[in-house]
Structure 1
Amino acid sequence: MTGDRRARAWVAGYCALLALIIVGPLAGSGYLLLRDAVSTPRSFLTDSALGLGAAAPRAVPQDALLAVLSAMIDGGLLVKAILIVALWSAGYGAAVLTREFLAASTPAQLVAATLALWNPFVAERLLQGHWSLLAGYAALPWTALAAVRVRQATQRHRPLAAAKTATRAGTDTRTPIGAPASAAPSDSVDRPARGDVGRAASSWSSGAWAALTAGFAAAGLTPTGSLLAAIIGLALVGRRAFLPAAVLWIATCAPWLTATVLGSGAEPSDPAGVSAFAARAEPWLGTLGSLAGLGGIWNSEAVPVTRTTPLALVGTVLLLGIVALGVRAVWRLGRDGRTLLIIAAVAIVLPALGATSVGLAVGEWLVVHIPGAGLLRDTQKYVALAMPAYALCAAAACRTVSLWWRRYAVDGSEAATDLREPTDQPKGAADAPSRSAAGASAVAVLFIALLILPLADLAWGVGGTMRPAHYPAGWAQVVDRMDAPGDVAVLPAGMFRRFQYSGTAPVLDPAPRILPNDVLQTGELRVRGYAVTGEGNRARTVEDALLRGATPAEIAALGVGWIVVERTTPGPLGDSEKTLTAAELAYQDADLALYRIPGHTPTDIATPAQRWISAAAHLLWAALLVGGLLTAALLPRISPARAARPTR
């Protein structure tokens, strides 16, 4: 047991090391400010944070969580902590999945963890700023493991069967949970006390359900992550537990489901977004090859430099080669292995089809006619579903190649020893186990090197691109001076900014997350030559009025109480100077200016009842997350098989 714990500690420490190597520059002070990632010292529980603003609820319950916790802990520290934990959890979860499904050795677990952490999907989503999506990605192996345990716990007679097959005359033999029951040993054993097995079965079942709850809720930090976990969990949970698991998942979706019903999330999305966010072919790979290699994000600027060189082809061939070596072993696991492999194949093929002319047409029809279908427009996100299967295949490949090593490097020297006496065995035969272990370690080191080297610039903030930013002091002054209600309009027009303090990459305007009042945003994006219209109709009206130089009275009639001018970023200003000249200046410095618009007409999108409903939905999600994590951690993790072992 001590050796097993030591091995687990090594795997956990290795995953922590890889995570820290990836996000190393963020360890210093400052805030993550890169494309879609906007962390701020403090954010506020506005209608937009609850998903009740004019825009679709794409960052729910993420924004509400940060708004609540940043009142106690610096928001930048929170985001960095969540990101580091998510990366560590992705790697360690992949390792645990292979240990439980395949009884993988420590070297094989390290290979699986490396694949889960060091791949183009992680690199590209980091560069795009999708830190919360990576939390959903990290939950996938844990959700898969919990779902299988729930299915086993709900199968009739499974606890006693597991107890018999996992015990062999007082010795501890472990059967992977993903393996078919027929693969387990069937030697007879002394029947244990029924009460012990019953208590273990009850604890096992409760712990499995708690873990599944935690997996769904953790992935549900964003709607997309919630969908990813649902696909994995509901596919593996089994027929008996499918309905309660589905109800449980829907409960963890309460924040964004209620926001979709109560807010503007039910409005159709711009069909132009389907083409703009379709998967992209990377050099020398094509769309299908890019997706199979866990790449292909729509934004060609959010890719590591190595993915723009022939190393993209080399890395993809090596990755798929390692995966291919383990496919047969994972398929032979039975239902669970096959399900994960099928999910991986579908998650690669469907986004590739979605980038064809027919797929684009289908996608455009969906986002126009089905509320909430806009969540599906960034199809490359769903390649994350391939990670659990890929990790299993990588671990199985490590074992397969290790067996080849043993057969030819070790057993080959013992081919004629079966009929000999022990004293007649050739010299060095007693060293076969150590040589076999050395072979497994050598194979693991080789595979890890083949996974890391073609994508070496994932290290240290994806080649130094992810660096902490520091906000000018003027932002704190603007927050303090904004002491009255009223929505906020921001200039220059547009959703993205380029600040000197945030680097060369564009970044979402931080105003909606740093200011205490609701900020009007049009949601319009310009992607790959496409102008994708957002859902903020009132925001567009206000923006147009500012650009044509409307009077403060006209702006006030639209519900605007404040105007913030971000002076150090390029963007259209139009004739807004006419409006600003007639407005009341509340604060200005070299970076920012704040104007008060007196006599504004209150224009609340959400009613008090809607706010209470949304708040209750967020509390339900938080309770399921915390309760699931604590219950899964505190319950004795004793399987019925272990409880059935004879007492010595």
Structure 2
Amino acid sequence: MNRGGARATLWLTSAALAAAVVGPLFAGGDLLYRDAVSTPRSFVTDTALGLGDAPARAVPQDWLIAVASRMLDGSVVVTTLTFAALVLAGVGFGRLAGRVVPAARTPGLLAGAAIGIWNPFVAERLLQGQWSLLLGYAALGWVVLAAEDCRRRPDRRTWARLAAWVAVAGITPTGWVLAVVVTLAVVAARRRAVAGVAVVAIVTSLPWTAAAALSTAPATSDTAAVAAFAARAETGLGTLGTLAGLGGIWNADAVPASRTGMWALIATLCLLAVVAIGCVALRRRWRRVRLIGVTATVAVAALVPVTLAATAPGQAVLRGLVDTVPGAGLLRDTSKFVALLVPFYAIAAAAAVQVIGRLVPRGLAAAVVALLVVAPLPDLAAGVGGEVRTVSLPSDFAEVAALVPADAGDIAVLPTGSNRRYAFTDGVVSLDPTARLLRAPVLATGELFIDGRAVDTAPDSRAARAEAILARGGPPADLARLGVGWVLVESVGPHTPSATLRTLPVVYRGDLLTLYRVADPVVVRASTVDRVLAWAAHLVWLAVILGGVGFGGVAAGRGRRLFSWGAWRAPTPPPTSPRSAG
């Protein structure tokens, strides 16, 4: 197959696999599933910019969705980005496989794409609702290729392309960390390139580093969350085997049904069989093809500490880091970092096609590899077995959103906490959508509840103080002095009615939501300077991405684009001798 045909086949195959996974989400409605929240419209509040006294966990994704939802339905934007993440993962890891194992040709590329899309990491993060992390994961294959280009032939175009992909990964801080780790691993031998990566890292991290500098949220995290977020072993595998099989998320509810029993052992053995077969071919090229050793080293360097972090000594070390190093809370959910294994696994999958292709036609070899990857995880299809699906928000949310302006105080919500079990989501745990749906900031402490235990509590935050006033039935004037202009009560879950509400006028009463007005609140907002700086940081981040598409992607007279085939070339067949031609 020629270069153009191989390119089209890889894109179409990746799109088909992505559609098989998230296609049902395009049926319409809003995504309200664990960490995933999409609403028709959201707004650039102080919270979306990461300003205030709550941890900025969703920067810059909330800003991006808020800006995009001015033109498109926000739920369509989130669904499209989730689909794009899986497509880019397939193409990126497929291109990486093609660069390192060109002899596997198109079948090897497709095997790399399959392992990049159809794996337990993708399934578990979808079930946890972490669509933005999947976008960061999707950038890894592209980042490795761009970093290698910067190492071999650095120029403005290759650096712009690398910066763009690191910025794409940086839609969530963890994605940025993953991208920077693999970039440094690729360019480590070149001091000048390392300096360039440092500049790229600083520029692409501006949205959340600016938020950390401008907000009053604590820089360190709750050490109690380290044990709660530790990697979890699956049946018959142990922690090491689970992580090597690209699983191990801390939340046992965010695991596909097919991996809740002994089938997880079979599925992991099938995946590792593909990797092991590929290693047979890769060991002969280990020294000649540098990216093999780099990606293998990154995989081992991720697997070992993540496994150790699930042990008592490892957790003790991690607690020390989380308690003292600003930003180290990103390391708590250690199983996220098994994403660093996938670049090597994609290369190994392509090599496995080459090995099996010596015994059977290469197309059949690709089918065998794909079967070993896809078949053991059948319930990744159709929204992970129908678990991840859209819902219709009750009309109460739209009614309340229309009543609350941006400049009449913040909103306190009862019951406290961000987790909800709504009847219209069939009781699936989700985040409260009001924080993204309303024009004014919704006060939130940022605390998380894991197995009924609260972590990351912030007792001095405005949200915690407002909750304390409502809990003791304090006067509305106390709420007003805190900047609270509204109290929203949701009829979900058990909670003790606040005596404060008896003295407040009801602005709206529906089946699910009741909105109360607090008179004469002191409007608390970030300063104009802080908002300008936060906006500037986000715009620089977006400009880096767009610059990679434009300046970095199209060079004068060469026409190479960011989403092009890049440096991969279809291998030239060996010359045919006159004897064999006859």
The TM-score range, normalised by the shorter chain, is over 0.9
The equivalent residue for 2:106 is 106
CA drift at 1:629:
1.9
Instruction: Sort the Cα spacing of 1:121 and 1:479 in 2 relative to 1 into closer, same or farther, 3 A.
Output: same
Determine the C-alpha separation between the residues in 2 that align with 1:394 and 1:293: 14
Task: Provide the C-alpha distance between the structure 2 equivalents of 1:266 and 1:343, rounded to a whole number of angstroms.
Answer: 31
| Alignment partner of 1:517 is 2:516 | no
Q: Distance in 2 between matches of 1:11 and 1:527?
A: 40
The alpha-carbon deviation at position 355 of structure 1 amounts to 0.9
What secondary structure is seen at the aligned counterpart in 2 of 1:105?
Answer: helix
Q: Residues of 1 paired with 2:482 and 2:493: CA distance?
A: 25
Report the AA paired with residue 456 of structure 1: P
> In 2, Cα distance between the equivalents of 1:490 and 1:457?
37
TM-score, normalisation: structure 2? 0.92
Deviations 1:517-572 (A, max 9, x none): 111112222213542133462211211221222221222122211111112x2142
Counterparts of 2:261 and 2:309, CA distance in 1: 25
* Equivalent in 537, 555, 563 of residue 487 of structure 2: 563
The whole-number CA distance in structure 1 between the counterparts of 2:366 and 2:85 is 24
Selected match of 1:234 from 184, 188, 198: 184
Q: Pick which of 120-129 and 248-257 moved more.
A: 248-257
One-letter code aligned to 1:226: W
Q: Which is further off, 537-546 or 301-310?
A: 537-546
Alignment of 1:4-43 (within 5 A): 4-43=3-42
Q: Match of 2:354, SS?
A: helix
Q: Give 1:492's aligned residue.
A: 415
Given residue 553 of structure 2, which amino acid in structure 1 is its aligned partner? A
Contiguous gaps of at least 5 residues in structure 2: 561-565, 570-582
Aligned partner (choices 505, 508, 513) of residue 592 of structure 1: 513
CA distance in 2, matches of 1:219, 1:267: 22
Call closer, same or farther: CA 1:268–1:231 in 2, change over 3 Å: same
Whether the 8 Å contact between 1:494 and 1:571 is mirrored in structure 2 is no
- Tell me by how many angstroms 1:473 deviates: 1.4
Q: Distance in 2 between matches of 1:366 and 1:273?
A: 12
Of residues 504-513 and 233-242 in structure 1, the stretch that sits farther from structure 2 once superposed is 233-242
Could you say what the CA RMSD is over the residues aligned between the two structures, in angstroms? 1.8
Once the two structures are superposed, the pairs formed by residues 55-70 of structure 1 within 5 Å of their partners are 55-70=54-69
Distance 2:567 2:98 in 1: 18
The 1-side partners of 2:10 and 2:568 are apart by: 25
Matched, 1:349 2:304: yes
CA distance in 2, matches of 1:585, 1:525: 30
**In 2: Cα distance, 1:212 partner to 1:94 partner:** 15
Specify the alignment match of 2:378 in structure 1. 456
1:617 maps to 2:537: yes
CA spacing shift, 1:530–1:362, aligned 2, 3 Å: farther
Q: 2:451 aligns with which of 528, 546, 562?
A: 528
The answer on 1:627 being equivalent to 2:568 is no
The one of 257, 261, 281 aligned to 2:233: 281
Partner of 1:324: 276
Structure 2 CA distance for aligned equivalents of residues 365 and 611 of structure 1: 33
Q: After superposition, give the CA deviation of every residue in 1:112-160 in whole Å (9 maximum; x if it has no partner).
A: 1111101000000000000000000000000000000111104xxxxxx
Q: Is the 8 A contact 2:99 2:568 kept in 1?
A: no
Q: Which amino acid aligns with 2:432?
A: D
Q: Deviations over 1:226-282 (max 9, x none)?
A: 010001112112413110122012101100011111113553211011111111111
1:82-111 CA distance string (max 9 Å, x none)? 010110000111111111222131111111
Give the length in aligned residue pairs.
555
State the partner residue of 1:445. Answer: 367
Show the counterpart of 2:165: 215
1:30 is aligned with what amino acid? G
Q: Retained in 1: the 8 A contact 2:274–2:372?
A: no
Matching residue's letter, 2:98: R
Distance 2:230 2:221 in 1: 15
SS in 1 for 2:440: coil
Tell me if the contact between 2:469 and 2:479 (Cα under 8 Å) persists in the aligned partners.
yes
1:394 equivalent among 349, 352, 359: 349
- Matched with 1:249 is 201
Alignment of 1:266-345 (within 5 A): 266-331=218-283, 332=286, 333-345=288-300
Deviation for aligned residue 1:328: 4.6
Letter of the structure 2 residue corresponding to residue 368 of structure 1: D
Q: Distance in 1 between matches of 2:93 and 2:255?
A: 24
Please say if residues 41 and 74 of structure 2, whose CA atoms lie closer than 8 Å, have aligned partners that are also in contact: yes
Identity in percent: 46
- Matched with 1:476 is 398
2:420 and 2:414 map into 1 onto residues whose CA distance is: 10
The 8 Å contact of residues 269 and 534 in structure 1, kept in 2 or not, is answered as: no
Task: Give, as a single letter, the amino acid of the residue that structure 1 aligns with 2:272.
Answer: L
Aligned partner letter, 2:486: W
Distance 1:632-1:311 versus aligned 2 partners, 3 A rule:
farther
**What CA distance in whole angstroms lies between the structure 2 residues aligned with 1:535 and 1:126?**
28
Who is 2:333 aligned against? 378
1:157 aligns with: none
1:548 matched residue in structure 2: 472
Which residue of the partner structure matches residue 503 of structure 2?
582
Q: Is the CA contact (8 Å cut-off) linking 2:279 and 2:348 kept in structure 1?
A: yes
Q: Is the 8 A contact 2:101 2:108 kept in 1?
A: no
Structure 2 Cα separation of the partners of residues 289 and 529 of structure 1: 28
Q: Which residue of 2 aligns with 1:409?
A: none
Query: Does 2:11 align with 1:88?
Result: no
Unaligned runs of 5+ in 1: 155-204, 406-437, 643-648
Amino acid at match of 2:417: G
Change (3 A) 1:499 1:641: closer
- CA deviation digits over 1:11-37, x for unaligned, max 9? 211110000000121011111110000
Alignment of 1:49-60 (within 5 A): 49-60=48-59
Is residue 55–residue 265 contact of structure 1 (8 Å, CA) maintained in 2?
yes
Q: Which has the larger radius of gyration?
A: 1
> Aligned partners of 1:641 and 1:563: how far apart in 2?
57
Kept in 1, the 8 Å contact 2:163–2:200? The answer is yes
**1:330 CA displacement:** 3.6
Contact 1:559/1:602 (CA < 8 Å) preserved in 2?
yes
Cα distance, 1:637 vs structure 2: 5.2
Amino acid at match of 1:626: L
CA displacement at 1:347 relative to structure 2? 1.2
Q: What letter matches 1:44 in structure 2?
A: F
Structure-2 separation of matches of 1:275 and 1:611: 36
Residue 388 of structure 1 aligns to a residue whose secondary structure is helix
Aligned partner of residue 253 in structure 2, secondary structure: coil
Question: Displacement of 1:8 after TM fit?
Answer: 1.7
1:508 aligns with one of 422, 426, 431: 431
| 1:207 Cα offset (Å) | 3.1
Structure 1 distance, partners of 2:527, 2:494, is 34
1:61-82: CA deviations, max 9, x gaps?
A: 1001111111111100000010
Structure-to-structure mapping, 1:397-412, within 5 angstroms: 397-403=352-358, 405=359
Answer whether contact 1:93 1:141 (CA < 8 A) is retained.
Answer: yes
Instruction: Evaluate the alpha carbon distance shift between residue 264 and residue 373 of structure 1 in structure 2; reply closer, same or farther with a 3 A threshold.
Output: farther
Say if 1:549 and 1:575, in contact at 8 Å, map to a contact too. Answer: no
Deviates more, 1:37-46 or 1:241-250: 241-250
Select which of 366, 372, 397 maps to 2:321.
366
